[in-house]
Amino acid sequence: MMEYGLKYIVHVCEMIEKIKNTQLQILSLAAGKVASTFEDGNTIFVFGAAHSGIIAEEMFYRTGGLAIINPIFNPSLMLDTRPVTLTSRMERVDKFGEEIIRSTAIKEGDLLLIHSVSGRNPVIIDAALQAKKMGAYVIGLTNIEYSKNVTSRHKSNKKLFEVVDLVIDNCGDFEDSSIRIPNIAQKIGATSTVAGAMIVNSIIVEACHLIVQKGMTPPVFHSSNVDGGDEFNKKLIKKHKDKIHYM
């Protein structure tokens, strides 16, 4: 019988239950902001470094997702970078996050969701601060317990949860890994990706519901692997091309 793998599954389920019990109001606020951003004719961006960037990949150009979700990718922060340890060095470079955000199409009235588990590195904090300077509303998705138990690497001594407009806690463990196995010093099994994917998808689902309630149609992708999906998505992209910056 699966033993420690099952412990991980149970732990993830408990974490999701904690998110449901403690973050629902925050998720509702985030969904409302996503919906109003669309309703006002503005657009949405998402950013994360290294593994945190997986959530940006989760949110854009996929079936059931909003077409106006724009990921911010920088080659030196992606997991296909070689050596991959470069990502850890680059996310600590002072003011790099500012330049990344300046190079995007973010404008006043847009929304930026930033995912960072520790929330301590300069690239993330500088990105949040720069986006706010440019008039964007910034949501931070982070691990509060983790973040409060590490020092900031930013010159301000602040962490992500201290500089954004709205904070979502993924309710994860310190260091992100979660399960202890005898004779192994390090915990095993990261949880931030599964928690983050659940959180952002719940926000998008609720935002689409709110948009419909306003009498509008949210631009949601069909799967390109169903008959007619490619044609539908092509029309969707064309209709909303002014808010899509990843094509």
pLDDT per residue as tens digits for the range 22-71: 999 999 999 999 999 999 999 999 999 999 999 999 999 999 999 999 99
Q: Which residue, among 99, 149, 151, 150, has the nearest Cα to 123 in the 3D structure?
A: 99
Residue found under tokens 């960037």: 53
User: What are φ and ψ of residue 176, in 5° steps?
Assistant: 80, -45
Residue range(s) defining the domain that contains residue 225: 4-243
Is it the case that residue 21 has pLDDT exceeding 90? yes
Q: Give me the number of domains the chain comprises.
A: 1
Q: Do 48 and 69 contact (CB within 8 A), yes or no? A: no
pTM of the predicted structure, to 2 decimals:
0.97
Task: Give tens-digit pLDDT for 107-133.
Answer: 999 999 999 999 999 999 999 999 999
Integer Cα distance of 234 and 221 in angstroms: 9
Query: Chain-wide mean pLDDT for the chain?
Result: 97
Sequence-distant (6+) residues with CB within 8 A of 78 are 50, 53, 87
Integer Cα distance of 222 and 228 in angstroms: 9
What is the DSSP secondary structure assignment for residue 86, as one 8-state letter? H
CATH number reported for the structural domain that contains residue 57 in this entry: 3.40.50.10490
pLDDT of residue 1: 83
Q: Do 22 and 47 contact (CB within 8 A), yes or no? A: no
188-190 and 177-179 beta bridge pairing: antiparallel
Q: Which residue, among 1, 36, 9, 11, has the nearest Cα to 203 in the 3D structure?
A: 36
Is it the case that residue 166 has pLDDT exceeding 90? yes
Mean pLDDT for the stretch of residues 131-146 = 98
